[in-house]
Structure 1
């Protein structure tokens, strides 16, 4: 026989099952939450293609039913959005005007509440760079400026001045790219072997000018830059290096660079050079403004355009050693943008200078563009944004 307790238990189970089935049935009949929260189109009209940029970082790009967020506006500080349609959406009892937008690249599109947008192309926003400039290499016209005349430590982009003077000696004297440069000084050998300041080891007591030029430009070899400077100055010891630094400053004066002062051929600070026998009296670091850096780069590219053949190389081998180019805007690199046609020029970093970068490229039908960012934390992203800004506004 079945006990009263069993009957009660069975009844409870059946009631529970019935309640659950009823709940599931109601859920099936009720519209999905997303659907209930979706927006409906009240009206829609086409509009002439108009440029907008974000007026607030709080907004987002949504799909037409407002059920899927496509992208946050906070991720697009430099993006120009192009609106082609005005749409009124209804959500509950509330109506709001949205714009159907698409970014310039055409890979992001959707709907943005109109109050999150301001008319006009996006101003470039460089969050990290303490100084920056964009310059037309043909006319010297400054296309963008942020603290561009403030001298700052510039680390290894100092080597652009060194390489210019090397090019000048090869072009104007009996020296050639195959001329031999003495590299036997012990301080330079130790520098090349350093885990911090090295990169190209001096395994021989001489290298050709071209080998050291490529090591200094592509790998940013500090010892190669000093050896080249000594060669330009006509010697192979620290005293010749001191003379070369005088030549760097004389060239800056000749170009009327009012915000440029050099104390090293490679951009290392005196506190670091002291251990290798290459410190000089004066300030600790090369101090050059972003605008003057751009002018140095302009002279190098204009007078000796073959420099771009080497600066565009991703890597190469010299004396069996790999020279790696840290310019991450080159083809195949993380920040590459094929539309910018970047083919150089120089990276730099020290703790004092931060990340520095000189970029250059020339799009078809445009003059060559030179950009400089100093003491940056995101130098390639911000350089790319700066270049895109210049081209989007047809400034060059």
Structure 2
């Protein structure tokens, strides 16, 4: 979370004149105050039984003990439960007494003092601040256990590759090829795409690769040119015409699964305006538009039908054709947002400017069912995914 920086104000004279009859007798805490000019003293301190509180409104600040520095804003912690352990009466010079609570968040990473009228008793209701669409799905029961605008189609960027790679596995399962089948990668547009500074990653240095090689490049590195080449292979050819045919197959599969909020125009998840310079725009809508709930269903089909996808999706990095494939899932072991108890072992990240940061996560906490979580257009996709997973398990929803 971003913490509002302490600003020295130029309105001290006006602020000092503002008083409140309901307790503070101070300047509003949402205003900037000159710490050097305003003095607060502690009148009394008493312990209290540990009690949960959460924000009453978006207004409010967590202060340090001397009331000279803002530790955090309540607006920046919209779904945090604060645990109060002390009552502290503070007084501003020339003002009246005001009751504060000494509080700390559940993880113990943020603590300070908050005016009592800025919080209300009880644990905070759970929510996700940043995700525009989100869902948590119990893989075993196929039940949605938490959602936020889950049926609204949104651009999903590279999460689209889950559908592409599922159809690759389906073709192999149906006898249409093997991991060792050769995929034509000689197309100049795909080679150019692999070298692009924004949309590249895995360069085609050969005119053909195995299905297995491109599958790993698309799943782990999120290679766009690999996904497109695989799509053409599934459709039976190696030209942009087969790319268009493959996208029809993506939409047909979505219809077979009853996904009413899914529409595909890209095998890789890149938008049409980005694909055009490489010869792979098919016209029509600019982006794949899929709801969070439908994304979760695609992921569930993939995991249930081809469980070993999780073995590959949990690879953090590997070398292929002299190039490094890097997995951007930062909830895997050893990564910044890893939490051992969640046992996250997949599944797919995505980002474009229209889609924002997207993430499909999956894991199984001991004693619980496996869950799939989806967050779309989320500024803090890993933080919020971890919060969602913990909420589901803490509430025994799966």
Q: Which has the larger radius of gyration?
A: 1
SS at the partner of 1:332? coil
How many residue pairs end up in the alignment?
360
Contact 1:136 1:370 in 2 (8 A): yes
Between stretches 365-374 and 221-230, larger displacement belongs to: 365-374
Greater shift after overlay, 336-345 or 356-365? 336-345
Query: How much does 1:150 deviate?
Result: 1.3
Answer yes or no: is the 8 Å Cα contact 1:88–1:95 preserved in 2. Answer: no
Between the aligned partners of 1:336 and 1:262, the Cα distance in structure 2 is: 32
**Bigger helix fraction:** 1
In structure 1, the residue matched to 2:317 is: 315
- The structure-2 alpha-carbon separation of the partners of 1:365 and 1:110, relative to structure 1 and needing over 3 Å to count, comes to farther
Question: Partner of 1:145 in structure 2?
Answer: 147
Residue 347 of structure 1: which of 324, 349, 366 is its match?
349
Alignment of 1:1-396 (within 5 A): 37-41=40-44, 43-45=46-48, 47=49, 50-61=51-62, 71-83=72-84, 85=85, 87=87, 89=89, 91=91, 98-99=100-101, 101-109=103-111, 111-173=113-175, 175-396=177-398
Secondary structure of the residue aligned to 2:377 is strand
Query: Are the aligned partners of 2:152 and 2:290 in contact in 1 as well (CA < 8 Å)?
Result: yes
* Aligned-pair CA distance for 1:320: 0.8
Give the gaps of 5 or more residues in structure 1.
1-32
Q: CA deviation at 1:60?
A: 4.5
Shift of 1:371: 2.0
Alpha-carbon distance in 1 for matches of 2:305, 2:314: 17
SS at match of 1:240: helix
Q: What is the alpha-carbon distance in structure 2 between the residues aligned to residue 360 and residue 278 of structure 1?
A: 31
Give the TM-score taking structure 2 as reference length: 0.80
Gaps of 5+ in 2: 1-35
Asked if the contact 2:78–2:129 (Cα under 8 Å) also holds between the matched residues in 1, the reply is no
CA contact (8 A) 1:153 1:288 kept: yes
Q: What secondary structure sits across from 1:105 in the alignment?
A: coil
User: CA offset at residue 147 of structure 1?
Assistant: 2.0
Per the TM alignment, residue 364 of structure 1 is displaced from its structure 2 partner at its CA by 1.6
Deviations along 1:214-251, one digit per CA (max 9) or x if unpaired, are 10011111110011112222222223222211211111
Q: Structure 1 residues 395, 52: closer, same or farther in 2, change over 3 A?
A: farther
8 Å contact from structure 2 (residues 316, 326) kept in 1: yes
Query: Measured at CA, do residues 68 and 393 of structure 1 come closer, stay the same or move farther in structure 2, by a change above 3 Å?
Result: farther
Secondary structure, counterpart of 1:187 in structure 2: helix
> Do the aligned partners of residues 140 and 183 (structure 1) sit closer, same or farther apart at CA in structure 2, a change above 3 Å counting?
same
Cα offset, 1:335, TM superposition: 3.6
**Distance between the aligned counterparts of 1:76 and 1:272, measured in 2?**
36
Question: Deviation of residue 266 (structure 1)?
Answer: 0.7
CA root-mean-square deviation: 2.9
> Counterparts of 1:200 and 1:366 in 2: how far apart (Å)?
37
CA separation in 2, counterparts of 1:225 and 1:69?
Answer: 48
Give the distance between the partners of 2:273 and 2:216, measured in 1 at CA: 26
